[in-house]
Amino acid sequence: MGLRPVPEGPLRSGYTTGACATACTKAALRALLRQEAVAEVVITLPGGEAVAFALHNCAYDARQARCATFKDAGDDPDVTHGAEISSTVSLTDTGEVTFLPGAGVGTVTLPGLAIAVGEPAINPVPRQMMRAAVAEVLAAEGAAGVGVAISVAVAGGDQLAQRTLNGRLGIVGGISILGTTGIVKPFSAEAYVASIVQGIDVALANGLTEVVINSGGKSEKLLRQLFAHLPAVGFIQYGNWIGETLEKIAGSALASFTMGIMLGKAVKLAQGALNTHSGQSSWDRAWVAALAAEAGYPAGRCAAIAGLTLASGLTELFPFAATEPFYAVLARHCYATISTVTGTRPCRLVLMDATEQFITYEFDF
C-alpha cells in the first residue's frame, strides 16, 4: 500500500466510496418512488458542501431500483478509483433504513470495528449519509416513515480488497465503504492511518495484549516466523506512519508491543523522525557519525559514514550482529524516540537488514 510519486502541479480531489454509495442510494430511491430514470443527483457532504454525481446506469421496476456511478478519486492512487459503485434499494414495512450484503462489499467477521460482526463493511459516516439522503427523498416524495433496504455493491470489489488491509481486519469478501468527509484528498494518509487504528482495535477486541508493528510485507514475513504464537490480527503495518501508530498504542490497553523496523527507517527514527517517508525525513550522516562515536568507534571509521549513499550501507562499516555496539546504541536512540510517544510501556525492537537478518533488543520488559 505504498504511495506512488506525487504528480507535479495542482492535485485534483475526488470523492469517497461512501459519497458515491450515498449518491447511488439517493438516485435509486428517487427512481423507485417516481418510477423514472435518474441521470444526476446532488448530495450533501458531512461538511455541508453540495456536490453532483452522474449516474451511468439506472434501472427500476415496481419492486426495486438500482443506480450506479464510477468512483473518481481525483489524483489519489486509490485502489477503488474508476470502480463501479452501485446501490439497490427496496421498500420495507419496518420503518427503518437497513443495510443488506452487496457483491464486492466485505462482511465484518471479527469484533473491534465500529460495525457489528455480520454486517456489511459500510462505515458509520457513510451509513449516516445514506440515512440522511433516504430521509430527504422520502420527505420530498410524501413517503416519510417508510422503511428502506439498501444493498451497496462494488464491481470487482473482492479482487480490489486483496490490495487493501481488509483481510487482516477480518473484513472478507470485498472492500469497505469508507469516508468521513466524503472527499478524497490526494496522497492523504487518512485511509492508511485509519487501517492502523482499526487493526489495533481488532487485536484488542480479540483478546490480544501485545501486537507486532512493522513497516510492510517483507518485514512482516520474518516477524510472523519469529512470533508464530500470534494470530494474523496481531500484526499491524505502519508503513511510514510510525507516530500515528505509536499514538494509538499509547492510548490503548496493550501491555507491550514489538516493533520490527528495517535499518534505513531505524536510522531516521533514532534521529527523532516519526514519519519515515522520503518526502518527510532523511538520514543525517553527520548525526549517524556522532552515533558511531558514542558507540566507541575510532574517528576514521566514523568519518567513513559520510561516503555512504544509503543508510543500509552501514552494514559495510559495522557488521550486522548483536555483538556490534553500533546497533545497540542505534536501538537505544530508537527507543528514546518511541518512548516520547508511548511512555515507558515495554517495547521489543527487532532491527532488520536487507538480507533479512535481525537483532532483537528489549526495553523495560
- Contact between 239 and 215 (Cβ < 8 Å): yes
pLDDT above 70 (res 188): no
- Contact between 62 and 36 (Cβ < 8 Å): no
Planar angle of CA 201, 207, 212, nearest 5 degrees = 65
Q: What's at 235, amino acid-wise?
A: F
Cα–Cα distance, 10 to 75 (Å, whole number): 9
Cα–Cα distance, 2 to 87 (Å, whole number): 30
Where does the pLDDT of residue 9 fall: very low under 50, low under 70, confident under 90, or very high at 90 and above? low
Where does the pLDDT of residue 266 fall: very low under 50, low under 70, confident under 90, or very high at 90 and above? very high
- Contact between 177 and 157 (Cβ < 8 Å): no
pLDDT above 60 (res 8): no
- Contact between 176 and 106 (Cβ < 8 Å): yes
pLDDT of amino acid 254: 95
pLDDT of amino acid 4: 45
Cα–Cα distance, 205 to 221 (Å, whole number): 24
Cα–Cα distance, 68 to 66 (Å, whole number): 7
pLDDT tens string 190-244: 778 888 999 999 999 999 999 999 988 889 999 999 999 999 999 999 988 999 9
Cell, residue 279? 518526502
Grid look-up 488491509 returns 165
Cα–Cα distance, 46 to 131 (Å, whole number): 12
Residues 105-120, mean pLDDT to the nearest whole number: 96
In the chain, the percentage of residues whose pLDDT exceeds 90 is 82
pLDDT above 80 (res 187): no
- Contact between 243 and 341 (Cβ < 8 Å): yes
Q: What is the crossing angle of helices 325-342 and 285-294, to 10°?
A: 110
pLDDT above 90 (res 70): yes
CATH 3.40.50.10360 for domain 14-184, yes or no, is no
Where does the pLDDT of residue 329 fall: very low under 50, low under 70, confident under 90, or very high at 90 and above? very high
pLDDT of amino acid 203: 96
pLDDT tens string 32-61: 999 999 999 999 999 999 999 999 999 999
CA 336 to chain centre: 26
Where does the pLDDT of residue 78 fall: very low under 50, low under 70, confident under 90, or very high at 90 and above? confident
pLDDT of amino acid 3: 43
- Domains in the chain: boundaries: 14-184, 208-363
pLDDT of amino acid 130: 98
pLDDT above 50 (res 1): no
Task: Give the phi and the psi of residue 200 in degrees, each rounded to 5.
Answer: -70, -40
pLDDT above 80 (res 278): no
